Structure 1
Amino acid sequence: MKFENRTQGLGPVRRRVAVGATAAAMGITAMLGSGLATAAHAADTAKLTGIVLGVGAGESQRAVSWYSSTDTPQMVQVVPTAKLKHGEFDKHAATFPATITANKVNGGYNAHVTIDGLKKKTKYSYRVGFEGNWSPTYSFETQDFKGDFDFLFFGDPQIGASGNVAKDAAGWADTLNVALAANPKTALLVSGGDQVETANTETQWDAFLAPDKLRQYPWAATIGNHDVGGKAYEQHFWTPNTDRSAPYYNGDATTRSGGDYWYEYNDVLFIDLNSNAYANGADAAHIQYVTDVVKEHGDAAKYTVLVYHHSIYSPASHANDGDNQQRRKDFPTAFSNLGVDLVLQGHDHAYTRSYEIKNGQKANPKEQPGAAEVVQGPGGVIYVTANSASGSKYYNLTAPDTTKDPNYGPDPLNPKSHWANSVENQEHVRTYVKVQVRDDKLVVENLRSGTCAAPNAAVELGQEDWCGPDSGATAAQPVGSTVDKVVIHPYDGKGDHGKSDEHKPAADESAWLQ
């Protein structure tokens, strides 16, 4: 293979991605070849930590972020694994220079790169650093760039929440291992927020980022309330198409992380919101952001999926928090009007799957609790809350309390649950959510990644006095068993939420590694 000796722009990931805006947001140029290596100072050495793979603006991109102890020019080298000979990155390797900025947390530097032009269904190897100072070599594999795919959604690892970082980290690593052993071809790992307990505590970040699975599969980060107290979140995770304007950002840009962002994958439009910012017009700003992104990119998307941290239909400790009550007023009608199909949330450390919700009300009064199939009408939205993926902290389900919120009372068909929720579950075992994206349906499944046995920090440490289904009355079910599963048949009437196939591009429009 021969590389052209030229500078490569970000290129058309897909026709509908605004390349110019994306490139400006990244502030980087991708270069082919290995010439940049000579720019590094051979005498310099760097400690390279926190390497994590992230999503790009589309299927043919991946982001790589890391911390460095030096600002020496650095890069990512990438090569198809099949052309990696004896571990050497030779003429077949593409080189992408890093953007490096001073780290506001630990006095070092943080770096990021966007790898562009990836081919579908190809395994790649990469490393970060500079000549004479390289990280270990890691690998990832792209999937098909059109049609069906699966992604996994993880709620609140919140490393450090139990008070024992090592136990929390063990549970988190085990969930990733279990989930990816069962789903090795998953395309994306999607975050529900709260990666750590304390925003600027790097020992917690180190533990969260320790699993090599986070260098093999792209992590689509979401900021939670425990991530928001400093700059570490956005220093660890570069995200595409990010708007950090004040309304989306939650305060002082010099000390806090945040922002809203979006990306596309196989005709799914993902929009991620910083739900920590909700007051003083922030919710209206989020709605406008979603509106603008859907207006520009929604026509070519088969499904629209929103992701943010604070579960508006919380089943547990946060069910009637004042900020959640506000979001329940602000968001649902807008999401229905915009044709959102699925909303993924965290924060409440318990699992829920809503009924079909339209304009903040149950769309079909006859929909039964726990229904295995749901047919969405126009404006119908399903909301899912993920339980703890690490076992660091669980919240018990609460009874509906109309004295705290008269609009969030019991379900007439199941009075122990809140009216919005088809399923509410807490077993004090680790779980994750698998989403299968198919041409005519979405399949959402909550799966157990652990049992009552270790690693399960909150149970091990005696912070929970029961474990298992039915408040511990039933024995814990095996790893890999299903808590809940639903097949969602999206609205497919005329207009299909205003979406069409008209602008779908051919797959693999931009490939650089032949």
Structure 2
Amino acid sequence: MQRSRALLTAAVTSAALCLTVVPTAGAVSSSLLAPGSSAPADADAASGPIFRAVAGVGANGRSVNFSWRTTHTGAEIVRYAPVDRPTEVREAPAREADYGALAYLSKFAEVSDLEPGQTYTYQLGSEQGGWSAPESFTIDDGDGTWSFIAVTDVQIGVGGRVAEQAATWRRTAENATAADPDASLILSLGDQVEGWGDLIGPRGQYNAFFSAPQLRSVRTAAIQGNHETYATPIEAKHFQEHWNLPNELGDTSNYFFEQNNALFIALNSNRKDAAGLAEQAQFVRDTVAAHGAGKDWIIVANHFAFHSHGGRYTDDDIVAMREALSPVFSEVGVDLVLNGHDHMYNRSHLMNGLEPTVPDKPAEPGDVLEQREGDVLYLTLNTAVGGKFYDYQGNDGKDYPDMTLERSRELGLNQPTIAFWNQDRTPDYSLINVTPESINVRSLNAEDGSLVDDITLVHDGAADPANPSNL
């Protein structure tokens, strides 16, 4: 598809860009500026060629898949070097990623075989078109003990409050990475934007999402939510052009990546028809068969919530998804499923297929769950920004705006598969710590860091659930 240079230039000129550009005259090919170095005074972030960049996850923990938007129609690259050896510059060529968006030009590039524990600085662009300002990322040391951050439903643009929500998103991203400065990656569970196309200017939802600088310094993964398809499924082209997905199944947005001792499987759950669910089920089976051996943990990212009091538990499409995929997850050994979509926090019981294991005492933060063969834990996370929240819906089908966990238990309104829920109507993020024996998920209030839930999953026989100090 031949794109219009005039369209590209007009769109970018009115956009709020994310990267400062170092003009060609200030660029050198033998080394890179140090991260945080000042660009020349005449660098113009509002009209430069590089914007909406992200350092995405690669196929494994030693690789990065870059994605950026540009106004330059010529060849571009990513150039990178270890921060302690700045003259050892390497380059990777970029290619155009054309899924049909006309308002901008997208470039994808990949780097691999990076050194464990090493910090790299990088720039995007070209001598002819100009360079982005230097950024840096650190590669995990590669052992079985590490951490990552999970967020969902940033959904910038709800009610048209783009600037307000962008500020909240930047604050959430800053607070989360400050709480875990060693996080190996950020995982965003869908609905990065409200949708309705790629609006530009001050109402630009994608501009606002990519305004969080952490997306360029911590490798980031994202999955497609339903709002990435608003107003029509054609709008998914914007998701596809912004995310350079590793190991993608065709153009389905189903993909996987490996990180240390974990295998991540990311599903595009917008297709909940029989054919789409069958495709996802087979993708999970094939991926685990080919890449699951030797992994301590298998983690699935899926936007729609399997077990949630957010008002959709009995919807036909959610029931169909739950019935089609839950047995497959138990069959192949998935350990943890991370969901979003319902804008409230929910934790399932351990589920073997569709059957819950209900403990003798009520669930509470601090629980340690010992996993038997086929057991899967489902967590639905609350929105990271809070443009909207959903009321608690009981098993009677009624909404209860002021319901509490304690009262719902007293009234017997909780679904039999749901162990714990929270709706405090504040944005959240989750810190996930991984060891060979355990996964601990601490979900926190994004503003004040107060605890929402703390749950630890351990393999059968790895520890005594009554004695978490054994972990």
TM-score between the two structures when normalised by the length of structure 2 = 0.81
**Amino acid in structure 2 at the alignment position of 1:381:** V
Equivalence for 2:382: 387
Contact 1:71–1:100 (Cα < 8 Å) also in 2: no
Contact 2:267–2:280 (Cα < 8 Å) also in 1: yes
Q: Does 1:81 align with 2:76?
A: no
1:23-172 pair list within 5 angstroms: 47-84=49-86, 90=87, 92-102=88-98, 104-132=100-128, 133-172=130-169
1:308-457 pair list within 5 angstroms: 308-366=302-360, 368-370=362-364, 372-401=367-396, 415-450=412-447
Q: Which among 218, 233, 250 is matched to residue 239 of structure 2?
A: 233
Instruction: Please state how far the C-alpha of 1:55 moved relative to its aligned partner.
Output: 0.2
Instruction: Please state how far the C-alpha of 1:69 moved relative to its aligned partner.
Output: 1.5
Instruction: Please state how far the C-alpha of 1:206 moved relative to its aligned partner.
Output: 0.5
Q: Give the Cα separation in 1 of the matches to 2:104 and 2:171.
A: 30
Q: Give the Cα separation in 2 of the matches to 1:220 and 1:295.
A: 22
Q: Give the Cα separation in 2 of the matches to 1:320 and 1:281.
A: 21
Contact 2:98–2:241 (Cα < 8 Å) also in 1: no
In the TM superposition, what whole-angstrom CA distance separates every residue of 1:369-406 from its partner, at most 9, and x where no partner exists?
226111111111000001010121211211113699xx
Contact 2:442–2:453 (Cα < 8 Å) also in 1: yes
Instruction: Please state how far the C-alpha of 1:182 moved relative to its aligned partner.
Output: 1.0
Secondary structure (helix, strand or coil) at the match of 1:311 reads: coil
**Amino acid in structure 1 at the alignment position of 2:319:** Q
Cα 1:350/1:274, change in 2 over 3 Å:
same
**Amino acid in structure 1 at the alignment position of 2:177:** L
**Amino acid in structure 1 at the alignment position of 2:178:** A
TM-score between the two structures when normalised by the length of structure 1 = 0.74
Cα 1:260/1:269, change in 2 over 3 Å:
same
Q: Does 1:176 align with 2:173?
A: yes
Equivalence for 2:211: 210
Equivalence for 1:483: 452
Contact 1:358–1:379 (Cα < 8 Å) also in 2: yes
Q: Give the Cα separation in 2 of the matches to 1:351 and 1:83.
A: 44
**Amino acid in structure 2 at the alignment position of 1:380:** D
Contact 1:311–1:345 (Cα < 8 Å) also in 2: yes
Gaps of 5+ in 1: 1-32, 36-44, 85-89, 250-258, 405-409, 451-478, 494-514
Q: Give the Cα separation in 1 of the matches to 2:409 and 2:53.
A: 49
Q: Give the Cα separation in 2 of the matches to 1:411 and 1:278.
A: 30
Secondary structure (helix, strand or coil) at the match of 2:284 reads: helix
In the TM superposition, what whole-angstrom CA distance separates every residue of 1:133-153 from its partner, at most 9, and x where no partner exists?
101111111121122001111
Secondary structure (helix, strand or coil) at the match of 1:310 reads: coil
Contact 1:268–1:302 (Cα < 8 Å) also in 2: yes
Q: Give the Cα separation in 1 of the matches to 2:167 and 2:361.
A: 39
Q: Give the Cα separation in 2 of the matches to 1:263 and 1:193.
A: 17
Instruction: Please state how far the C-alpha of 1:81 moved relative to its aligned partner.
Output: 1.4
Q: Give the Cα separation in 2 of the matches to 1:492 and 1:298.
A: 20
Equivalence for 2:298: 304
**Amino acid in structure 2 at the alignment position of 1:263:** F
Secondary structure (helix, strand or coil) at the match of 2:153 reads: coil
Cα 1:55/1:101, change in 2 over 3 Å:
closer
Instruction: Please state how far the C-alpha of 1:242 moved relative to its aligned partner.
Output: 0.1
Instruction: Please state how far the C-alpha of 1:425 moved relative to its aligned partner.
Output: 0.6
Contact 2:370–2:461 (Cα < 8 Å) also in 1: no
Cα 1:411/1:267, change in 2 over 3 Å:
farther
Instruction: Please state how far the C-alpha of 1:319 moved relative to its aligned partner.
Output: 2.7
Contact 1:172–1:391 (Cα < 8 Å) also in 2: no
**Amino acid in structure 1 at the alignment position of 2:125:** G
CA RMSD between the two structures:
2.3
In the TM superposition, what whole-angstrom CA distance separates every residue of 1:324-363 from its partner, at most 9, and x where no partner exists?
1111211111111111100000000100111101121112
Percent of paired sites with the same residue = 30
In the TM superposition, what whole-angstrom CA distance separates every residue of 1:236-268 from its partner, at most 9, and x where no partner exists?
0101000136xxx3xxxxxxxxx2100000110
Contact 1:103–1:110 (Cα < 8 Å) also in 2: no
Contact 2:331–2:374 (Cα < 8 Å) also in 1: yes
**Number of matched residues?**
401
Instruction: Please state how far the C-alpha of 1:492 moved relative to its aligned partner.
Output: 5.1
Q: Give the Cα separation in 1 of the matches to 2:424 and 2:300.
A: 26
Contact 1:341–1:490 (Cα < 8 Å) also in 2: no
**Amino acid in structure 2 at the alignment position of 1:54:** G
Contact 1:349–1:394 (Cα < 8 Å) also in 2: yes
**Amino acid in structure 2 at the alignment position of 1:348:** D
Secondary structure (helix, strand or coil) at the match of 1:316 reads: coil
